[in-house]
Chain A
Amino acid sequence: MPKRGGFFLVCTRPQTRLWLLVAAGTILMPFISGCGSHYVLLHPAGPVARRELDLTVYAAVTMAVIVAFVIALLILTLIRYRDRPNNPHAYTPEWHDHRLMESLWLIIPAVVLAAVAIPTVKTTYALARLPKGSHPLVIDVTSLNWKWMFEYPDQHIATVNYIEIPTRRPVLFELTADSPMNAFWIPELGGMEYTMSGRVLPLWLEADRQGLFWGRSAQFSGIDFEKMLFHVRAVSTPSFNAWTAHIRHSKPAMTLDTYHRLLRFNTVGVEEYSSYPRSAFPSTTHGFGLSGGMYPVMSNHPQKN
């Protein structure tokens, strides 16, 4: 991403630029630090994050219109009706009622909010389901104190604090915890979802360009929560397959002992395992079923009991 000056909202897709320029002047103050790629939310790397960004921009602009109107009206009122000698504007101390205007105040916000509400409903449902006919890569995610454990049930490998995913293929994350709650978040790929013990929550994301992205926990979980960081490398399908094969052949197996070591309250670096004990995924250890049912793919999930 080239660095550019101007208003920070300007650095996104060309289609939205015009809208953004309108918004920038009204809601956000002058840009301070250039628009580098560290504005991760403005540089989506996949369809989920992109839809979320589009909706964010749309909602922001819509709200900015009404906020700008309110501010302009306020300024006008202050200029006209300040208490100063010989103010030419009429003083009407008893004027306190106007049916039509009051209905207008009701209608304007209602219309604006309806304009926000409709795409909200659409996008919420759209993002809750995997795209039709897709064959997602499943990754089981467990948050531990203070690390992330990933299991690839189809590839039978496991990793800690690092994953690789193929581009242009949806990834279904099944999230749970063997720790207090955390929130699993890879900003460049899309929004977050909580990890909770005893429940398995689904979240699908997809990368449509190769790259290295960071993810972290967004829910405070204790002293080393700040270090609950992991990296995601999105690569082409052949290199993804090569990577899994490499791990399967050259890395040690995860045993239950290894898992218990991971359960300790500490932080670790990146780890890779050629296999893992099935019971390590807490949904099966504690006997919880998968919640929801929005995901057709779950019925043939290998770990479903």
Chain B
Amino acid sequence: MSFMAVYLFYLYMIHTLFPENVRQPTELGADVMIIGAGIIIVSVLTRYKKWRWLWSEWLTTVDHKKIGVLYLISALAMLFRGGVDALMLRTNLALPNIQPIGANEYNEVFTTHGTIMIFFMAMPFIFALFNAVVPLMIGARDVAFPRLNAISYWLFAFGALLLNISFVLGGSPNAGWTAYAPFTERAFTPGVGENYYFMSLLIAGIGTTMTGINFLVTIIRMRAPGMTFMRMPLFVWTTLTTSALIIFAFPPLTVALALTLIDRLFHASFFTLGHGGMPMMYVNLFWLFGHPEVYIVVMPAFGIFSEVVATFSGKQLFGYTAMVLSVVAIMLFAYGTWVHHFFTMGAGPSVNVFFGLSTMLIAIPTGVKIFNWIFTMWGGRIRMTVAMLYQIAFIPTFAIGGATGVMFAVVPVDYQLHNGYFLIAHFHNVLIGGTLFGLLSGMHYWWPKMFGFSLNERLGKFAFWLFFIGFWITFTPQYMLGFEGMTRRLYTYPLGYGWHMLNVISTLGAFTMGAGFVVLVYDIVWSLFKMPRDATGDPWNGRTLEWALPSPVPEYNFARVPVVTSRDMFWWMKRHHATIADQLKPNDIRELELPKNSPVPFILGLGFFIFGFGMVFEWWLLAFLGLAIIIGSLIYTGFDYDEHKQVSAEEIRHIEQSLGRLQG
């Protein structure tokens, strides 16, 4: 009853506030689900009196491990949202001229699908794993700037909320995840939709940039004694290079987004048709960010695979130095290829040839890595765990994705294949086969470290096969559709082109992958209740330092910071029958200073959200209120010197003893 009343009230509010938005049945259905879920969560929290716990343990936390969990939950939720979008798109295209959703909704859905998958699924998923393990791998107690880390999370979370709220209120962005000007100018895309896109990415982008800075500094400054650069696990290396890419790639995006928003809100003409605007500059700025971005999302996967393959082959990573050099090379080259996204914009043959060749160049270090992964397995003992299955599936999938990428670097080939389904298949090939498989592999691998229990292997394998087979069923036909001349972002098509057969198959594949996601969620829920606790902290016979710690890891990480003497330090310790516990004497334990929880990050995020919402609707008063909150909390945190709390040696000794990690 109360639910209905709230819902009716909500509908009334929407219709009085935003009368121009005509609500569609599908949108209404989604609204009911979202609002229903919200009400359930609120009532459960209230019923079990969990509000205080939620606030003090999670919303104000600055502990990198908890922030990692928050990122992971958000990323999985966004994977769900983006996945549902994908199924809607595929349903619309399943057969010619059926239109379960119309043109405008289709445009909204492919826009939010792309935006969410890249910015609000892949990015937070990556940060989840950075946060969960990078400090542990380098023997650090925390990241360099814990409070900034929490601020990054809340900026991401409120940015994501701002984008998602557009779906509830109506009027989502509908110009594609690339949002090319001048189409996104007011003259062609009126309404608030695009404002949501620009505002939410600006907010989340600030958070992302700060995460990049945070992890760069953490890795450079916070390594344990003896952890030289050339002893760092490869995942730490890719975190380092990814952070460097983020720091230099996000500013062009911020500029492009901000200038378009200024065009839209304040009638400037940076990218307009007339008045001296230069729409092409937007495209340039976007890809100046966009190409590094594709490496930002795939390099962490390279790192994950390098850890996973060594652990499950029981063997050192092959060609460590070459691996390091190749990620550094990829990082550097990644800035020199962006024009390959617009070969067909008339830069002339010399420019095109230059960027075609630079793009091919970047494939060389990638090839080196693939061979080194295979040779890590060569001479090993390969254990087929879920994490390893994703790794094995990744190699051929990514090789094919890379090969089609090289085809795009061949300029005259790009002229024919650009913006068609061959392109769609290429980037899903690398984004799903590379990034998503990598992230899922990493999730299964580090899950016990994050939560203290493993995921069910059988269910995990089932989900894996659905993903893997579904992937190829979905995208092989799309490669072929490219040769049939089907262009991207079509909401429907007539019968005459002969595109229908392949589209049906592709849609079936998409639903297979959807089933994979359902099994994955079932796996997580099942394991949460049924899987035994992991008492050893080292369920996989791991090699790097994080496995030396108990699971889940205590707040201070290392009771005593280890001294690193070798690559694969934990492996070395196990070989020499040394454990951290052996080394740890009660007297070694000192009092520690840990960062203290703070409400500032959450409130700052809320301030940005209010500011963003005000900007989207051009409600300036609200925007000023948000701005006031932002400035207020920044000033407050600037004068807040009470950032630390003391943990006594006694307390640490007690915890370590209860974990059985302390002698005497």
Contacts and interface: CB of A to CB of B under 8 A. Distances in A.
Contacts of A183: 344, 418-419
Interface in A108-124: 108-110, 113, 116-117, 119-121, 123-124
Interface string B635-647: 0000000000000
5 interchain residue pairs of minimum CB distance? A191-B415, A38-B498, A109-B367, A63-B403, A180-B183
B101 interface: no
Interface residues of A, number: 98
A22 interface: no
Contact of B279 (A42, A113, A197, A294): A197
Given A33-B502, A39-B483, A226-B490, A124 B344 contact: no
A294 B345 contact: no
B382 A83 contact: yes
Interface stretch (B42-50, B207-215, B346-354): B346-354
A197 B273 contact: yes
B480 interface: yes
Given A106-B368, A292-B348, A81 B378 contact: yes
B531 interface: no
18 contacts: A33-B502, A42-B483, A55-B410, A67-B403, A77-B378, A81-B377, A95-B379, A102-B322, A109-B367, A120-B360, A125-B349, A180-B182, A183-B418, A190-B415, A196-B346, A220-B489, A225-B490, A294-B348
Interface string B122-155: 0000000000000000000000000000000000
Interface string A238-250: 0000000000000
Contact of B349 (A63, A128, A214, A223): A128
A18 interface: no
Nearest to A40: B485
A64 B479 CA distance: 14
B412 A51 contact: yes
A291 B419 contact: no
B380 interface: yes
B346 A291 contact: yes
B492 interface: yes
Interface stretch (A68-76, A162-170, A273-281): A68-76
Nearest to A84: B381
A56 to B, nearest CB: 5
B634 interface: no
Interface stretch (A86-94, A131-139, A151-159, A254-262): A86-94
Nearest to A106: B368
Contact of A36 (B320, B477, B487, B498): B498
A120 B418 contact: no
A74 B392 contact: yes
Nearest to A73: B374
Interface stretch (B156-164, B310-318, B448-456): B310-318
Interface string B376-392: 11111111100000001
A29 B477 CA distance: 9
B381 A81 contact: yes
Given A70-B396, A96-B319, A226-B493, 18 more contacts: A33-B501, A56-B413, A67-B399, A70-B374, A81-B313, A89-B379, A97-B320, A98-B318, A101-B375, A116-B410, A120-B410, A124-B349, A124-B412, A179-B188, A192-B418, A196-B345, A225-B490, A286-B274
A303 interface: no
Contacts of A218: 418-420, 487-488
Interface string A36-62: 101111100000010111011001100
A157 B306 CA distance: 63
Contacts of B374: 70, 73-74, 77
A193 interface: yes
A142 to B, nearest CB: 13
Given A123-B412, A192-B419, A38 B342 contact: no
Contact of B476 (A28, A89, A98): A28
A119 to B, nearest CB: 8
A148 interface: no
A226 B476 contact: no
B193 to A, nearest CB: 12
B482 interface: yes
Nearest to B184: A180
Contacts of A102: 319, 322, 368, 372
B512 to A, nearest CB: 15
A71 to B, nearest CB: 5
What is the interface of chain A mostly: helix, strand, loop, or mixed? mixed
Nearest to A41: B483
What is the interface of chain B mostly: helix, strand, loop, or mixed? helix
A77 B372 CA distance: 12
B566 to A, nearest CB: 12
Given A96-B315, A181-B183, A196-B279, A124 B352 contact: yes
B484 interface: yes
A150 interface: no
B596 to A, nearest CB: 43
B183 A192 contact: no
Nearest to B480: A8
A128 B356 CA distance: 15
B541 to A, nearest CB: 11
A179 B183 CA distance: 8
Contacts of B419: 183, 192, 218-219
A78 B377 contact: yes
B382 A198 contact: no
Nearest to B319: A102
A157 B619 CA distance: 51
B256 to A, nearest CB: 15
A108 B491 contact: no
Given A70-B399, A83-B381, A181-B183, A187 B346 contact: no
A38 B485 CA distance: 8
A105 B322 contact: yes
A230 interface: no
A52 B413 contact: yes
Contacts of B463: none
Given A77-B377, A187-B416, A27 B314 contact: no
Contacts of A178: 273
B364 A109 contact: yes
A39 B379 CA distance: 45
Given A32-B501, A185-B487, A55 B413 contact: yes
B501 A117 contact: no
A226 B491 contact: yes
Given A59-B406, A192-B344, A181 B381 contact: no
B103 A223 contact: yes
B138 to A, nearest CB: 21
A94 B315 CA distance: 6
A78 B382 contact: yes
B487 to A, nearest CB: 5
Nearest to A91: B381
B377 A117 contact: no
Contacts of A197: 182, 273, 279
B410 A105 contact: no
Contacts of B382: 77-78, 81-83
A270 interface: no
A212 interface: no
Interface string B393-411: 0011001100110110111
Given A41-B483, A63-B406, A225-B489, A94 B384 contact: no
A124 to B, nearest CB: 4
Contact of B320 (A73, A96, A128): A96
B267 to A, nearest CB: 18
B322 A194 contact: no
B58 interface: no
A47 to B, nearest CB: 12
Contacts of B384: 82-83
A201 interface: yes
A80 B381 CA distance: 9
A221 interface: yes
A196 B485 contact: no
B318 A180 contact: no
